[in-house]
Amino acid sequence: MKASAYLFLFLMVIFAWNCNQRHSHADEKVEGLLPGMGNLSHPVSTKSEAAQQLFNQGFTLMYGFNHEEAVRSFEQALKYDSTLAMAYWGIAFCYGSNYNWPADLHATRLANENIKKAQALLDHASDKEKDYINTLAVRYTDDSTADFHALEVKYSEGMKALSEKYPDDLDARCLYAESMMNLHPWELWLPDGTPNENTNDIIAALQYVLSKDSMHIGGNHYYIHATEASPHPELALPCARRLASLVPNAGHLVHMPAHVYMRTGDYHGANEANTIASNVDSAYIKQYNVQGMYPMIYYTHNLHFLAIGCLFSGQYKEAEQKVAECLNLVDPMMAVQFPSMQFITVTPFQIMVGAGDWEGIMNYPKPDSMLNITSAMWHWARAIASLEKGEMKTAQSEEKSYMDIVKTIPRDQLYSLGTVGTIVDVASNILSGKMSEKKKDLKAAEEFYKNAVVAEKKVHYDEPPEWMVPAATLLGGFYLRNGKYADAESAFRESLQMYPKNGEALFGLSEALKHQNKNEEAAQTQSAYETAWKQADKPITLTDL
């Protein structure tokens, strides 16, 4: 995974600081049970009904990537049954790597300590539980020089054997799929749309789970991740529809349908999922005073995702409001220390450019200069705003400031899952294209816009997308303005391939088709645009493209 190793280190440190924190959960019967956690059942060797309920909750939270809360559930289960070996297994599992970040050495040591505690209680475990515990044990070590990827491979091989030994245990099959996902996190599909190593096996394992139990929490969650970057993300639409209500108080699971909806062009659906998830997480965090990674990462992810979804549905004011709420939760100095976090602090500028909010851009406070790519993109946005306002000298000055900063930033500086270099390539070509077009150098402008389209395809897959001002839409707008309607049609279709059903491209395509007297398709496309833009702040005009 190309996400920042430094960010991951920070996150795992935060995890270590907070993993032992407790908060009380009110429940009439069992202390520690949360409401709205679904009905997962994974029977374990205990005579305590409370311990079993808490173990089920911990497993559910594991599937929902709320590993801190899962640890608390497993620890609470041990208060009801101190011999419950599988509770220690669950704690050890949660300290390990997952699809969103790898464990650091400290977390790995904690995992190793807990799996050893589980092994010390094997006399109290069933044969299958012994297999679960011993299989997970190969994943961890106290040896800081160990080849941790090799250990992950060995663990995955063990989970394959375990899932084959117990074919009716769908959790075993699901965890086998997850173990393979963790070998290539966020890179299950190559840029050309072909599956990476193990991806077909991951999908097969999850399809098996869902064929036996279509309501399986982990199966639905992981299948969305397994297919979202594929050429056919729509395959996960049934999972998205089911997952939305399976665990109503697990915010991340409520949010996950947005990944599918965004990729299939249902921006309103994505916004609805993220709005509900944000409300769920906000209530959870406030009620239990939750600290640590979950509120810092997953709650902000909901808001960030919602902001970008609103941009694509034309709800510009809401987009700017939600990204502001997101930024209120992010310490700018943390983004200085861990530069990959700047994908969040850069977002307002892309949103305002996409929204055409030129005054908002010019009034936006200057970022701290230590936020290098954020500062660069502030100048980038100001250059574009100045061009649109007809202030060429100011635009040229801002362009120079942008380029001066960009020259000082290593191209391989991490930016969310990708690198700054890929973002700069898109931004620079768009700015140069706009600058050339204003100067009436149309040949140069066309080449810059084309280069931006090519560069955008090299941006690392992420959800929401790391780049959110579709270059192909800008190219299409350029062609429309210059009477090249067939070329405009081609460009807008390309934009719709990358961002299905996005309103600006639909509007532009409709206009391009009208100018070519393709009236029937133009009318259909216009209707699709009106549906996509039904909640927008304002209609699109040619000057917006």
Superfamily of domain 470-545: Tetratricopeptide repeat domain (1.25.40.10)
Q: Which has more confidence, 335 or 217?
A: 217
Q: What is the pLDDT of residues 171-215, one digit of tens each?
A: 999 999 999 999 999 999 999 999 999 999 999 999 999 999 999
What contacts 24+ positions apart, CB below 8 Å, involve 81-84? 81/46, 81/47, 81/48, 81/51, 83/46, 83/121, 83/124, 84/44, 84/45, 84/46, 84/48, 84/51, 84/55, 84/121, 84/124
Per-residue confidence (pLDDT) for residue 134, from 0 to 100: 99
Instruction: Please state, for a pLDDT cut of 70, what percent of the chain lies above it.
Output: 95
Per-residue confidence (pLDDT) for residue 244, from 0 to 100: 92
Average pLDDT over residues 465-477: 98
Q: Given this chain, do its domains 1-146 and 470-545 carry the same CATH topology? A: yes
User: Domain ranges in the chain?
Assistant: 1-146, 342-463, 470-545
Give the separation between CA 496 and CA 122, rounded to whole angstroms. 56
Per-residue confidence (pLDDT) for residue 27, from 0 to 100: 42
Q: Where are the beta strands (DSSP E) in 141-285?
A: none
Q: Is the peptide bond before 238 cis (omega within 30 degrees of 0)?
A: no
Report H helices in 294-357: 300-312, 316-328, 332-337, 342-345, 347-355
Sign of CA dihedral 462, 468, 473, 474: negative
Q: What is the pLDDT of residues 1-43, one digit of tens each?
A: 334 433 433 343 344 334 434 444 444 489 999 999 999 999 9
Give the separation between CA 390 and CA 393, rounded to whole angstroms. 9
Mean pLDDT of the chain: 94
Query: Looking at domain 1-146, which CATH architecture does it have?
Result: Alpha Horseshoe (1.25)
Q: What is the pLDDT of residues 205-248, one digit of tens each?
A: 999 999 999 999 999 999 999 999 999 999 999 999 999 999 99
**HSE toward the beta carbon, residue 434, CA cutoff 13 A:** 28
The 8-class DSSP code of residue 298 comes to: I
Read off the pTM. Answer: 0.93
Per-residue confidence (pLDDT) for residue 307, from 0 to 100: 98
Say if CB 94 and CB 140 are below 8 A apart: no
Which candidate, 473, 533, 541, places its Cα nearest to that of 313?
533
Q: Which amino acid is it at 29?
A: K
Per-residue confidence (pLDDT) for residue 104, from 0 to 100: 87
Report H helices in 19-66: 49-63
Say if CB 537 and CB 317 are below 8 A apart: yes
Average pLDDT over residues 98-102: 91
Average pLDDT over residues 257-265: 98
Per-residue confidence (pLDDT) for residue 79, from 0 to 100: 98
Lowest mean pLDDT among 5-14, 44-53, 486-495: 5-14
Per-residue confidence (pLDDT) for residue 9, from 0 to 100: 35
Which residues are registered as beta bridge partners of 98?
Answer: 101
